[in-house]
Chain A
Amino acid sequence: MSRDRRKQPREWRLDRRTLLRGIAGGTAVALALPLLDVMMNEHGDALADGSPFPLRLLTWMWGNGCRLEHWVPKTTGPDYALSDELQPLAEFKSDFTLLSGFRNYVAGRRGHHDGMAGLFSGHPFIELDPMGAPYASKFGGPSIDQQAADRIAAKTMFKSLQIGVTKRQLTNQGPTLETMSHRGPDQPMAMERDPQKVFDQLFTAFVPKDGSGDPERPLRTAAIDAVMHDVQRLQQRVSTSDRKRLDQHLESLFDLQKQILAIPPNCDLPQKPGKLDYNPDGSEPLADINKVMSQLVTVAFACDLTRVVSYMFTAPSGAQQYPMLTPAAFPEFPGASDLSHADQHEKSHISLDYEQFYIHKCTFVNMQNFAVTLGLLKGTVEGAGNLLDNLCVLCGTDVCEGWDHSEDDYPIIIAGRAGGRLKKGVGHYRSPNAEGLSNVGFAVMKAVIPQPEALTEYGSDQGTYHGRTTTPCAAILL
């Protein structure tokens, strides 16, 4: 980090504040208002000053794969027939490309860890020596959302958001399985799993009255100045590796000061969500939390509070309960036992018809919930179109199929148009040559970052684990 970045930042304005100022205040609405027409050019396809709409990235994951026999459509091309597990997305069929036949070349060491690293970073993970403790790993480089956030470098309130729907996840296998977002190997960014906290994070910084009104701001930044001096003094006394860790601490303090001094856009506040937590029987109201979180993400994009979001619907390895999957959901298996409180990961390892059909049904539920996210994004007008037009959604999971930890046919959905950088009307594309996951990641990066032509490679290699690529996936990128 260069020294000049440590200078006291001055108050600065968010790019779109003046544009957003026209939005009528006063009434709380469930969703943010879109940009007013006066802010657009006459065609409604760009901002009034001619600059394009901001491009954004959403990474959306569910845990523990799918049943490929129910997932992969039988036909390819624009007019393919949706498979069973994709039925919930029927309404959005023209809004996404389905990729199949893609292989994870980062893989070969540990199920789930391989997938998280391969699909969401392009860097082989770093194995942590368990030394008598459970298996653990950390990311080998920044996750794709953080790579994008750094390059988008938008003057938004938040460089990125990390959203988690479920609270059920493994916590004893290191950062790789705990979060989708990693600034680097030693900087996992925890998912925020409480909708009320997400709301507070997004909106409590809002000052209802206009201008530089908040008297606390200069005092808060002065406090952080003192803390930064401490960090710099401490850096002179510690080891090289701690000096690097403190560099990252310093950089985050600097970003926080910027955030405090930023004047937030005049967005209308949505209503604060109610408390959503475990049900008394230990299950989770997954669909309710998913809806509220998706609403908050939609507002954050629409108000340009952030341009990068990672979204963990269910966690890698999928130690998940699907309370909605009662026996009534399985007319095909009359008299079957109740799996509504079962552990999805465990069932995935039982090779019986009913258990494997249950895994298929779980994927169906996952896609129902993804459809809720897509619906909210598509339902939010931006310019002449909607948020999906200026967004790239990378939707996937940490393994192809959970039962054998397969790595050669990843279920991947690329939704949105990213301002026209992503192809339309592809439908289902099946790679004929086991194209690598990193090619997808590379194409996603090029879809959302400024100056995509300047990005010439993506991912990295570690011994026999290959994540590096110079070829973006041509099936999706225009």
Chain B
Amino acid sequence: MSLFGSKRPSRVLGAALAAWLGAVAVAACSKGETPEPAPLDFPSTPASAALRRLLARQYKNSVGYLLGPAAAAAATPPEDTELNGFASIAMSQLSLNDTLVARYESSARSVAEAAMKDSARIAALAGCKPASADDKACFRSFVANFGRLAWRRPLSAEELDDYVAVAAKAAQQKNDFNAGVQYAITALLQSPNFLYQVEIGAPVPDRPDLRRLGGFEVATRMSFLLLDRTPDKELIDAAERGELESGDGVRAWAEKLLAEPDAKSAMREFFSELFVLDDLTTIAKDPALFPDFSPDLAASMREEALRLVDQMIAGDAPFTSLLTTKQTFVDDRLAAFYGVAKPAAPWQAVTLPAEQGRVGILTTAAVMARQAHATSTSATRRGLFVMERFMCTTMPPPPPDVVTTLPPPSSTAPTLRDRIKVHQTTPVCRSCHYQSDNIGLTFEHYDGIGRYRAKEGGATIDASGTVAGMGSWKDPNELAAILSQSPLVKSCVVREVYRYATGHVEVDDEWPAINDINARWAAGGYRFRALLVELVASDLFRHVGALK
């Protein structure tokens, strides 16, 4: 089981092989028309939906859309926690507590206070002129209009009554209509209907295991995925008109959403989390060894990696181009770092010197620096990064009481490859490190901050690798080529996007439908945009499991 090194080899391997084989088979027969499968043929039982709390940025972006930039600046939602690789998974598992609830209350109060300064926007949302300080009809109009946007659905009569009462009480006490509006906003933004993505759906005839999401729920799910914010008024209107009840309807709207500017920043967030770049600017590097490393340089590195993502999405290129592209982007700092001419513009596309052997996202300074130690490279971290993030496999932790220290560099063992031979020769180490270290050692030409080095400690660097089942390669270029042709890598990115999009790690019963999305994506040449579109248009995305 050394190939995958997983704690659950049978499950992971089974799923991966199914995807690998399935992708090829299904791709062959899904060329041309891709008819919408009738729901009754839907092969999967999705996981039950769990209430998913908005991520901090989704909260802020939503406030910005609803109430303007000043209100968004006043928002102070709690910070995100990460679980299983994605904060969105934590948000569907963890519960609120005193601290978080208090934070949401103070955030809602600050937002509402800031929002009231934009009187034109408030008046437009109300759609009425108050006849008196506690004009209940006008409060009702405001709560209905603002609530429909903030909660991503119309409010019931009972809900309207509750929030009109909140507004009326404040207006009466302060003899001020605006005080009422301010408290209505304060309350509506604390509601679970704002703070959680609520995905309950409706029963499906003859399928007790399924519930079908309604148009408003689909609008919410796709908007938070593709735009990182609440659905806008146009999308909510479309949901109300029934345009999101079919896969084709959703597909058309997904294409529209992906053309919006917010889609770019939303995809940057996904990839920044996927490639573990969120904290790059605060990681520690030994200044004695790496005097050039600074938070500013780290920020440039992160931006470079995200520009590769931008380019892939804007160019509607295959996902695999991210692995194999020879082009990258530099600013002044990175030009000096990589040793190329200063760019003419703040950022410029360049090809790095061939002797550095750089290729795609894997050899970017951002990934190399992040997947290294403060004082050195790390074959294990880099290999594990490729395994976890591109192949959806992992390795178990070191057993307790195993000393995990490595010998220091010496004249007999100048290179990391020499020093970590113990990982390959000791059975207890090899069982897990075989794959990770063989992959990771390929990147030894890039030091602890990702700078190219021809030699290590005066010795020649051997960048080749072999892993049974993957093949052999002589350098990062060949490894990137192997990965870019691997069905496992392609099905892995489907899984990663699915986890991110739904807030849960996929369950076995979802595999047939995930493979189906994989096949549709394959038919389109693995363009990443197509993956997003096919995912949101899929039955899997538009259904949840029965309530448990």
Which residues of A approach B to under 8 Å, CB–CB?
Answer: 107-111, 114, 128-136, 138, 158-159, 162, 167-168, 171-172, 174-175, 178, 183-184, 186-190, 192, 201, 215, 218-220, 222-227, 229-231, 233-234, 237-242, 244-246, 248-249, 252-253, 255-256, 259, 278, 280-282, 319, 321, 337-339, 341-343, 346, 349-352, 403-407
Contacts and interface: CB of A to CB of B under 8 A. Distances in A.
21 contacts: A132-B6, A132-B392, A133-B86, A135-B397, A171-B82, A178-B81, A190-B81, A215-B173, A222-B165, A223-B187, A231-B192, A239-B548, A240-B548, A245-B95, A252-B97, A255-B98, A282-B295, A338-B288, A341-B284, A343-B375, A352-B408
Contacts of B174: 215
Contact of B97 (A183, A201, A240): A183
A224 B547 contact: no
A319 to B, nearest CB: 7
B203 interface: no
Interface stretch (B100-108, B116-124, B325-333): B100-108
Contacts of B506: 131
B101 A253 contact: yes
Given A219-B169, A346-B374, 4 more contacts: A130-B394, A218-B173, A227-B190, A404-B404
A335 to B, nearest CB: 12
Contact of A171 (B159, B165, B190, B279): B279
A188 B94 contact: yes
A134 B98 contact: no
A172 B82 contact: yes
Given A241-B548, A246-B192, A252 B85 contact: no
Interface of B: 6-8, 12, 48-51, 78-79, 81-86, 90, 93-102, 105, 108-109, 158-159, 162-163, 165-166, 169-170, 173-174, 183, 186-187, 190-193, 198, 200, 276, 279, 282, 284-288, 294-295, 373-375, 388, 391-394, 396-398, 400-406, 408, 492, 495, 499, 505-506, 547-548
A61 to B, nearest CB: 18
B50 A239 contact: yes
Nearest to A192: B99
B101 A252 contact: yes
B400 A223 contact: no
B428 to A, nearest CB: 14
A230 B48 contact: no
A133 B548 contact: no
A136 B84 CA distance: 7
B492 to A, nearest CB: 7
A107 B287 CA distance: 36
Contact of B7 (A130, A229, A350): A130
Given A231-B192, A253-B101, A190 B79 contact: yes
B101 A188 contact: no
Contact of B84 (A130, A186, A239): A130
Contacts of A352: 408
B50 A242 contact: yes
A136 B90 CA distance: 11
A350 B408 contact: yes
A126 B401 CA distance: 21
Nearest to B169: A222
Contacts of A256: 98, 101-102, 105
Given A133-B388, A172-B85, A245-B95, A226 B375 contact: no
B397 A110 contact: yes
Contacts of B83: 128, 136, 138, 174-175
Nearest to B151: A230
B192 A249 contact: yes
Contacts of A220: 105, 109, 186
Contacts of B505: 129, 131, 133
Contacts of B8: 129, 131
A136 B285 CA distance: 25
A465 to B, nearest CB: 12
What are the 7 A-B residue pairs with the smallest beta carbon separation, nearest first? Answer: A133-B85, A223-B187, A132-B392, A343-B374, A252-B101, A351-B405, A248-B95
Nearest to A403: B405
A244 to B, nearest CB: 8
Nearest to B405: A351
Contacts of B84: 128-131, 133, 136
A188 B388 contact: no
Contacts of B547: 238-239
Contact of A405 (B81, B193, B394, B400): B400
Contacts of A249: 95-96, 101, 192
